[in-house]
Structure 1
Amino acid sequence: MKENLDISLCDTLSLSKTRSQNVDALFELMQRHGQSFYDEAVTQLEHALQAAHLARESQASMEQITAALLHDIGHFLMDEHDEQNDFLVEDWHHETIGARQLEPFFGKAVTEPILLHVPAKRYLCTIDAEYFNGLSKASQQSFKLQGGLMTDDEVAEFESNPFHNTAVLLRRWDDGAKVKGLEVPALSAYRQDVESCLECD
């Protein structure tokens, strides 16, 4: 697995002494690294904010809202583009890198849905033949790189995870968070949720 980390989020947060400082460091990183495009419509930061907004509009818990906001933090940490600024045709497992970087600071209610949001796409494509057709072009292209349809054993393993339902919800918010020009609340609107979910002192 490639881990071409532009910066170690874990190291950055470890230098912070308070929960508020941790959120400051996390949000500063997202502002700085979130300006590259997620797909043809929105930037990484716009995508994160739209996903968190959809979670909040769905009356989600603070852990689910935080997971929605941070679900693609792995993309923020890696340069996955080539010299033409196109995505490389390789899966760098952003969901795993993101979850692992966040694990020292957040509980499983946040990190497990992040880890599972890519398998959740594979799961939904497997159990619902029409789901694939509703994906964005970028998600359709990454689907095969990420493993394609699940086997029966993979479906059973996914469904056995206690956070699989949240992962499916997160996947739905992820899919809907690609609207060009949509006005949603800024990062600061999620400070209390994220700070409350931090488990470090």
Structure 2
Amino acid sequence: MKENTEISLHDVLSLEKTPDQRVDALFDLMQEHGQSYYDEAVTQLEHALQTAQLARNSQATMEQITAALLHDIGHFLMNEHDAQHDFLSEDWEHETVGSRQLEPFFGRAVTEPIFLHVPAKRYLCTVEPDYFNGLSLASQRSFALQGGLMSDKEVERFENNPFHHTAVLLRRWDDGAKVKGLNVPGLEDYRVEILSCLEH
């Protein structure tokens, strides 16, 4: 795996800070480094906020909403902040980078769906033949880079993960969160969810 992290969440979420200060620092990071484009329609930050809003609209749990907001945090942490589309030409395994950096601070109900949201795309493309056609061009482009269709063993392993249902939900929210110009609540609106899920 190629990992080129520029920012450590250990610094951002330092235990020397109060919980609110840690959330402030996380939101500052997302605001500053969320301006690169996820695809032609929305920035990384807009995509994160739209995903979280879809989770909230689905009466999701605090953990699921937090996972939705932070599901692409790996993109924010890596060298993808120049408003270019170059990251779509190579799989940097942002789901692994993000989930691993979040693990010291959030429980598995947050981090595991984040880790699984890319495999969830591969899973849905495998078990729902029409699913691929509904993906954005950016998601279709990254699909092959991320492994393509799952084997039978990969499908079985994915379905045996206790968080696979949440990962599929997250994937569907992810897919719907690419609407240009959509007006959604900002980061501050998710302070309660983040604070409730911070474990350390």
Normalised TM-score (structure 2): 0.96
- In 2: Cα distance, 1:85 partner to 1:184 partner: 24
Q: How far apart are residue 77 of structure 1 and its match?
A: 0.8
Q: Which residue of 2 aligns with 1:190?
A: 190
Q: Which residue of 2 aligns with 1:110?
A: 110
- Could you report, residue by residue, the CA deviation over 1:164-183 in whole angstroms, capped at 9, with x for unpaired residues? 00000000000000000000
Conservation of the 8 A alpha-carbon contact between 2:98 and 2:114:
yes
Counting only pairs closer than 5 Å after superposition, residues 58-137 of structure 1 correspond to structure 2 as 58-80=58-80, 85-88=84-87, 89-137=89-137
Q: Percent identity?
A: 75
- In 1: Cα distance, 2:58 partner to 2:44 partner: 21
The residue type equivalent to 1:150 in the other structure is M
- In 2: Cα distance, 1:104 partner to 1:78 partner: 18
Structure 2 unmatched ranges of 5 or more: none
- In 2: Cα distance, 1:15 partner to 1:107 partner: 16
Q: Which residue of 2 aligns with 1:25?
A: 25
Q: Describe the SS at the equivalent of 1:14.
A: coil
- Could you report, residue by residue, the CA deviation over 1:32-82 in whole angstroms, capped at 9, with x for unpaired residues? 000111110000000000000000000000000000000000000112478
Pairing 1:141–2:141 present: yes
- In 2: Cα distance, 1:161 partner to 1:3 partner: 25
Conservation of the 8 A alpha-carbon contact between 1:16 and 1:25:
no
- In 1: Cα distance, 2:126 partner to 2:170 partner: 17
Q: How far apart are residue 192 of structure 1 and its match?
A: 0.2
Conservation of the 8 A alpha-carbon contact between 2:50 and 2:177:
yes
Conservation of the 8 A alpha-carbon contact between 1:117 and 1:170:
yes
Q: Describe the SS at the equivalent of 1:179.
A: coil
Conservation of the 8 A alpha-carbon contact between 1:35 and 1:45:
yes
The residue type equivalent to 1:46 in the other structure is E
Q: Describe the SS at the equivalent of 2:86.
A: coil
Conservation of the 8 A alpha-carbon contact between 1:72 and 1:98:
yes
Conservation of the 8 A alpha-carbon contact between 2:52 and 2:66:
yes
Pairing 1:179–2:179 present: yes
- In 2: Cα distance, 1:65 partner to 1:59 partner: 9
The residue type equivalent to 2:137 in the other structure is K
Structure 1 unmatched ranges of 5 or more: none
Q: Which residue of 1 aligns with 2:152?
A: 152
- In 1: Cα distance, 2:174 partner to 2:77 partner: 18
Q: How far apart are residue 12 of structure 1 and its match?
A: 2.2
Pairing 1:3–2:3 present: yes
Q: How far apart are residue 128 of structure 1 and its match?
A: 0.3
Aligned residues: 199
Conservation of the 8 A alpha-carbon contact between 2:35 and 2:45:
yes
- In 1: Cα distance, 2:14 partner to 2:122 partner: 34
The residue type equivalent to 1:110 in the other structure is V
CA RMSD of aligned residues (A): 1.4
Q: How far apart are residue 20 of structure 1 and its match?
A: 1.1
The residue type equivalent to 2:131 in the other structure is Y
Pairing 1:39–2:39 present: yes
The residue type equivalent to 2:41 in the other structure is A
Conservation of the 8 A alpha-carbon contact between 2:51 and 2:173:
yes
- In 2: Cα distance, 1:81 partner to 1:18 partner: 28
